[in-house]
Structures are given as C-alpha cells and as structure tokens.
Amino acid sequence: MVDNHESTTSGKTKQKLWDGRFQEATDAFVEAFTESVSFDKRLAEVDIRGSIAHATMLNTVKVLTNEEADAIISGLETIAHDVREGTFTWSTALEDVHMNIEQALTDRIGDVGKKLHTGRSRNDQVATDIRLYLRQVCDGVIHQLTILQLGILGLAETESETIMPGFTHLQVAQPVTFGHHLMAWQSMLERDMARFADCRKRINVLPLGSAALAGTSYPIDRELTRQLLEFESISTNSLDAVSDRDFAIEFAAAASLTMMHLSRWSEELILWTSAQFDFVSLPDRYCTGSSIMPQKKNPDVAELTRGKTSRVYGHLTALLVLMKGQPLAYNRDNQEDKEPLFDVVDTLSSVLIAFSDMIPELVSKKDNMLRAAATGFSTATDLADYLVRKGIPFRDAHGIVGRLVSESEKQGVDLADLSLSTLQGACQVIEDDVFEYLTLTGSVNARNHPGGTAPSQVRASVAAARERLQ
Ligand code: ARG
C-alpha cells in the first residue's frame, strides 16, 4: 500500500527527515517526481538487515548504548514483520524505502530511532541495499539455471541416439543427435551460470561506512559490519563505493547474455513446432490458441521469451547510459538504476521458470527428425571422408562428391540410393562398403571424440556435466 495523504503544496505542514533548512513544503509534483518508494520498497528486507548490522556495529564501538541498540533493533524487527505481512504503510511523501523505514522506527520507538542514521548516509545505505539484494538474486538465478540444466541433461540422455539434421545457414548440413543439440544449450547455460557466479564476487563488497562520500568521523568498525552482513570484503574507496553501479551493469550484462541464449533457443522451438519442421511438440499448457483459426497451437512462451530479450537489452543500455555522464560521487541519477534492474531480474527469472517447466516435457518427433536428416545430402561429407581414407586428396574428394550430389539431384534420390556402378563411375576406389558410411547412424557414430555428436559422447558429456553441477 502506498499512501500519499501527507503530501501538500500549501504551507509547511509535513516535516521531512531533511527539511531543517527549508522554508516551504515540497511541491506535490516534485514529491511525485522524486519519490522512489513505489519501486524501491522491494529493498525493505535488505535495508532493515543493513540497518540492524549498522546499529549492532555502532553499539560495539559505543556510539549507541546497549539500550539504544536494543530498542532500535527490536523496532526494526517489528517493521520487518509488518513489511513481510504486507501491513506496513508506505508514504510517497517520505520519498524512499530508507526514510519510510527510519520514520516508522521513530514513530514506534520514539526519539532514539533518530540515532540509527549516525555515521551513515542514504548514499552508502542504498549502495549496500542493492548489493545485498543482487547477491540474493544471483544465488536464485544460479539455482534456476541449475534446475534448467538438470532438465536438459535428463532429456539429452533419453535423446542421445535420436537423429536429426544439423544445420548451417539453416540448410541441412550433417546429421547430429538430438541429445548433442540439447547439450549445446546446456553448454551455453553453464557459461551463463559461471558469469553470474563471477559477477557475484564483485557484488559481494560492503560499501557501508563510506557515508555520504568521504567516510565518517565516528570510530566505526567496518570489518564487523562486513562480518554481520556476510560480505567478502569492504570497499576500498568511499567516493567509488557510493557512486558506481558497475556491478549492477555486470549483472544486467550477464542477464542479457542468458536472455540471448534463451532467445536463440526460443527461435528454434518456434521453427521446430511449425508444420514445416514438426520436430517437437510442446505441452498444451505452454501454448495458446488463436481466436479465429481453430487449428492453431502457438508457441507463445517461446515467442515472448524472444520478445522479452529486447527489454533486458534495453535495460542494460539504460544502465550504461545512466552512468556514463556522472561525475563522482553520488548523484540522484542513480535512483534510476532500480526500475531497469528490477525488471531485468523479474524478466529473467520468469523466463527461467517457464523454461525449467517446459523443457523436460518437450517431446521429440523422431520419425520427422530422421526423415529430415535423410534429405539434403547430409552424409556428403562422410562420402568425401571415405574417399580420403581410400587415398584421394580431400579437395579432389570434395569435387567428386559434389558431382555425385548433382547426379542424385537429377535422379531425385539420396546419395545412399545411387547404384554402386554410378558411384564407381565417379571414382573407382569406391567399393560396396561405402553404403555403411552413407547411413545416418554411421555418420553420427563416426564423430566419436570429446565434443562430437556420437551417442556415446553425448552420454559422456551428460555424465560430466551432471558431475560439475553437483
Ligand atoms: N532513493 C535514493 C536512491 O535510490 C537514495 C539515496 C538518496 N540520496 C540522496 N543524497 N538524496 O539513490
């Protein structure tokens, strides 16, 4: 609930936490223009956690007495409870999440609440909040990516022998196993996961103690605050710590790359569920119909994933542009980091939920895949490799097979359907063992090395990936 009944344009009726020097109340428009509580209230839980750690530290260094710290901490806990229950009343007149909570604390425990903000500023407070929030988000995303990968691994194992066409230029190139294709997606997601883990390291640094920009004159113990908030290290420069949002940009960049991968994947699902390909079917509950065409089953979740990728890229750009013009240290511009960042988080996590649920239920249409793999002369490279094994230089073999492809096209058949005499007419070294090399199974089985498409290699890479995900 956001309540703005306290805002006013006439007379100085509302006391702001910072209005000591002001002669008139904030203009209602300015209040609405500058508020962030409508979206940064999402940070309430981490804001309170940061405040409790700060108060605990102030108590340890004797800036707060035991009684003062106890009152502040239990007051903050009652606020945390109300926020969780959804009964806390937010006020836009109080601008942001930080001042809403601080004001509520003073309302609840009296003047001692006013001591919480000793030795800190909203500048180091908000930087701390975003880092605490994003650290949690990274853990959640890494978990979601793990679940999705486990789903892919299960499917890849079942589909390790299923043959489908592999494409280059979206033209049939060589047969591959569907399991191998699925493992390509797993490889991308594994790198994505590593990017989040890496970006988490730079998120996991404590800015609190930097105060407004220069540090504070109180005898603070930043190492204690660090321990309480479980940060890996403390920031080394106060000007930098209150102002930079590079860690949020890194997160948005990692999210953009993951969305790029999911969007490519979506594009394939969209193609593969079309009548023209008809390689897979998606569960009905993941598709929608058309209001006019009764036969339609549209892959909307995949299409929207492809579409939503654009907004994540937009937010990454917004964050980069937000920072590029800012002199040190904190500027109010930084308040604009939150909406893009939150939308990146929400978009990415909704797409990951959808994929984790949808992918394990993907059903392959093996006959259609096999039929498609048998078209387009997908074993032409295997024939060239056969000739090379019989002593023909690769470039010559390439030419011979090219002529045989042209002959097959003329006859309207596949390479494997040409007669032995036709094959021998093109090259005398060909014997009747050639046909086993021209089969799709022979072709995939032959690519039997780490990273290759052979079923045994797919099973090995599934096992290795499962091991890494443990
Ligand atoms: N709502 C502000 C933000 O998100 C909090 C920091 C405000 N600091 C200030 N000096 N006005 O950036």
> Is residue 15 assigned to a domain?
no
Q: Which of 47, 96, 239, 322 to mutate to test the pocket of ligand 1 (most atoms within 8 A of CB)?
A: 96
What SS3 state is found at 251?
A: helix
Among candidate residues 74, 233, 274, 290, the one labeled active-site is 290
Per-residue pLDDT tens digits for 133-185 = 999 999 999 999 999 999 999 999 999 999 999 999 999 999 999 999 999 99
Domain membership of residue 33 as a residue range: 26-118
146 and 47, same structural domain?
no
**CATH assignment at residue 323:** 1.20.200.10
Q: Does the pLDDT at position 365 exceed 60?
A: yes
d(CA 440, CA 458): 16
392 close to 400: Cβ distance less than 8 angstroms:
yes
424 and 337, same structural domain?
no
- Give, to the nearest 10 degrees, the angle between helix 178-203 and helix 122-158: 160
pLDDT-based confidence at residue 14 (cuts at 50, 70, 90): low
**Of all atoms in ligand 1, which is nearest to the CA of residue 97?**
1
Nearest CA to 197 out of 251, 259, 236, 256 is that of: 251
110 and 213, same structural domain?
no
Taking only Cα atoms into account, the Rg of the chain, rounded to an integer number of angstroms, comes to 31
For position 7, what pLDDT does the model report?
Answer: 44
Q: How far is the CA of 6 from the centre of ligand 1 (A)?
A: 20
135 close to 249: Cβ distance less than 8 angstroms:
no
Nearest CA to 117 out of 55, 42, 26 is that of: 55
> Is residue 393 assigned to a domain?
yes
- CA-proximal residue: ligand 1, atom 4 (nearest): 335
Can you tell me the mean pLDDT for 281-290? 86
209 and 142, same structural domain?
yes
180 and 149, same structural domain?
yes
Q: Does the pLDDT at position 33 exceed 70?
A: yes
Can you tell me the mean pLDDT for 275-279? 97
Cis ω for the linkage preceding 329 (within 30 of 0):
yes
> Is residue 222 assigned to a domain?
yes
395 and 365, same structural domain?
no
Look at residues 91, 118, 145 and tell me which one is the last residue of a structural domain: 118
373 close to 440: Cβ distance less than 8 angstroms:
yes
Please name the helix (run of DSSP H) or strand (run of DSSP E) that holds residue 456, with its range, or none. helix 455-469
Unique residue bearing structure tokens 């240290």: 329
Mean pLDDT computed over every residue of the chain: 95
d(CA 281, CA 304): 17
What is the total count of domains within the chain?
A: 3
> Is residue 455 assigned to a domain?
yes
For position 2, what pLDDT does the model report?
Answer: 53
> Is residue 105 assigned to a domain?
yes
- CA-proximal residue: ligand 1, atom 3 (nearest): 335
Task: Record the pTM.
Answer: 0.94
Does residue 5 carry a catalytic annotation? no
Does residue 187 carry a catalytic annotation? no
For position 429, what pLDDT does the model report?
Answer: 97
> Is residue 112 assigned to a domain?
yes
- Residue 132: other Cβ atoms inside 10 A: 24
- CA-proximal residue: ligand 1, atom 12 (nearest): 335
Look at residues 99, 118, 137 and tell me which one is the last residue of a structural domain: 118
Q: Which of 51, 332, 337 to mutate to test the pocket of ligand 1 (most atoms within 8 A of CB)?
A: 332
Tokens of 288: 């929608």
For position 293, what pLDDT does the model report?
Answer: 83
Q: Which of 33, 126, 210, 333 to mutate to test the pocket of ligand 1 (most atoms within 8 A of CB)?
A: 126
d(CA 100, CA 120): 16
327 and 221, same structural domain?
yes
Q: How many residues does the chain have?
A: 470
d(CA 151, CA 186): 9
Look at residues 345, 370, 395 and tell me which one is the last residue of a structural domain: 370
Query: CA dist 67 to 51, 165, 226, Å?
Result: 16, 73, 23
- CA-proximal residue: ligand 1, atom 2 (nearest): 335
332 and 208, same structural domain?
yes
Among candidate residues 169, 217, 421, 449, the one labeled active-site is 169
Query: CA dist 413 to 212, 331, 410, 420, Å?
Result: 77, 70, 8, 14
For position 11, what pLDDT does the model report?
Answer: 46
177 and 86, same structural domain?
no
Helices (H), 327-439: 338-358, 366-374, 380-389, 394-411, 420-426, 434-437
**Of all atoms in ligand 1, which is nearest to the CA of residue 95?**
1
Q: How far is the CA of 388 from the centre of ligand 1 (A)?
A: 70
Q: Does the pLDDT at position 194 exceed 90?
A: yes
Nearest 10 degrees: CA dihedral of 262, 264, 267, 273? -70
3-state SS, one letter per residue, for 2-47:
EECCCCCCCCCCCCCCCHHHCCCCCCHHHHHHHCCHHHHHHHHHHH
Nearest CA to 64 out of 216, 240, 204, 219 is that of: 219
307 and 188, same structural domain?
yes
What SS3 state is found at 257?
A: helix
For position 62, what pLDDT does the model report?
Answer: 98
Half-sphere exposure for 18 (CA within 13 Å, toward CB): 11
What SS3 state is found at 170?
A: coil
43 and 80, same structural domain?
yes
**CATH assignment at residue 427:** 1.10.40.30
Q: What percent of the chain has pLDDT over 70?
A: 97
Per-residue pLDDT tens digits for 53-81 = 999 999 999 999 999 999 999 999 999 99
Q: How far is the CA of 177 from the centre of ligand 1 (A)?
A: 54
**CATH assignment at residue 68:** 1.10.275.10
| Pairing verdict, β 233-234 and 205-206 | parallel
Per-residue pLDDT tens digits for 293-319 = 888 788 999 999 999 999 999 999 999
> Is residue 6 assigned to a domain?
no
Residues lining ligand 1, CB < 6 A?
36, 40, 96, 122-123, 126, 330, 332, 334-335
> Is residue 19 assigned to a domain?
no
Handedness of CA 341, 345, 346, 350 (dihedral sign): positive
376 and 366, same structural domain?
no
d(CA 71, CA 247): 34
**Of all atoms in ligand 1, which is nearest to the CA of residue 96?**
1
